[in-house]
């Protein structure tokens, strides 16, 4: 047990850092759960995940802003596959999409690059990227810590199963609803989206 504790304390925050680079919720959830058992500090887990995800997306934004759409779609084949979808969502939803892209699987790593290449105002992106990173880190850390804390205290076992099912259904409905909203907005957007959009 002592060796496990020392291993987590030595490498836990590095794992959070690497997980936050790719917005790996499983890593952050696990680290937050370990924080509930006092192997790590929940405050440091939150701080590392928040700062890492915001800084990484800012770097990707500036890379796209600097190099342009043609360069990033040539260098990154995965970006080229989702370019039109991201442009459509950005044009249709603007601020909401900038705030929400890190919650959408399949396009979230490519989104900052493409948003930057669209010449969105850097200050506008920085503001909503920071708010989004704050929300993402808080929600992920909160869920991992609270669930682990409830398990540790035995409160999860004492909670009526119907309540757990209801909470799970609400979470699934929210996730599916958000996904459908973005997909619907993307289908309703014009099919031809220019490589560059004016500064906002």
d(C-alpha 129, C-alpha 151), whole Å: 33
Is 195 contained in some domain? no
What is residue 109's three-state secondary structure?
coil
Whether the pLDDT of residue 193 is over 50: the answer is: no
Cα separations in angstroms, 129 against 22, 36, 60, 96, 172: 15, 28, 12, 11, 24
Is 119 contained in some domain? yes
User: How much of the chain, in percent, has pLDDT values that exceed 90?
Assistant: 21
Q: Collect all residues with Cβ–Cβ distance below 8 Å to 98 and sequence separation of at least 6.
A: 90, 115, 120, 124, 125, 128, 129, 132
Residues 37/89, Cβ–Cβ less than 8 Å: no
Domain extent, residue 126, equals 2-188
What pLDDT is attached to residue 72?
A: 80
Selection from 115, 129, 102 nearest residue 23 by Cα: 102
Is 197 contained in some domain? no
Is 199 contained in some domain? no
Task: Give percent helix, percent strand, percent coil of the chain, each to the nearest 5.
Answer: 80, 0, 20
Whether the pLDDT of residue 6 is over 80: the answer is: no
Number of folded domains in the chain? 1
**Six-digit token pair at 39?**
């192997």
Is 196 contained in some domain? no
What's the rounded mean pLDDT across residues 107-130? 90
What pLDDT is attached to residue 68?
A: 81
Per residue in 35-87, pLDDT (tens digit) is 888 889 999 999 999 999 999 999 999 998 888 877 887 777 777 778 888 88
Is 81 contained in some domain? yes
Q: Return the C-alpha torsion angle 176, 54, 136, 67, nearest 10.
A: 0
Residue 65 CA, chain-centre distance (Å), reads 20
Is 198 contained in some domain? no
Per residue in 153-184, pLDDT (tens digit) is 655 454 445 555 555 566 656 655 655 555 55
What pLDDT is attached to residue 43?
A: 94
What pLDDT is attached to residue 191?
A: 42
The more confident residue out of 11 and 195 is: 11
Is 79 contained in some domain? yes
Q: Model pTM greater than 0.85?
A: no
């Amino acid at each position: 047990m002592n060796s496990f504790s020392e291993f987590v304390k030595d490498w836990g925050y590095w794992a959070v850092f690497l997980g936050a680079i790719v917005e790996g919720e499983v890593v952050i959830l696990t680290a937050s759960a370990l924080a509930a058992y006092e192997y790590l500090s929940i405050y440091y887990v939150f701080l590392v995940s928040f700062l890492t995800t915001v800084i990484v997306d800012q770097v990707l934004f500036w890379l796209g802003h600097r190099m342009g759409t043609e360069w990033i779609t040539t260098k990154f084949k995965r970006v080229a596959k989702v370019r039109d979808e991201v442009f459509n969502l950005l044009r249709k939803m603007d601020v909401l999409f900038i705030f929400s892209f890190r919650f959408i699987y399949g396009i979230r790593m490519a989104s900052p690059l493409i948003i930057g290449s669209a010449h969105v105002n850097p200050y506008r992106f920085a503001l909503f990227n920071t708010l989004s990173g704050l929300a993402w880190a808080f929600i992920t850390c909160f869920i991992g810590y609270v669930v682990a804390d409830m398990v540790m205290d035995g409160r999860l076992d004492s909670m009526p199963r119907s309540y757990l099912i209801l909470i799970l259904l609400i979470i699934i409905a929210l996730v599916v609803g958000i996904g459908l909203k973005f997909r619907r907005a993307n289908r309703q957007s014009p099919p031809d989206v220019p490589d560059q959009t004016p500064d906002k």
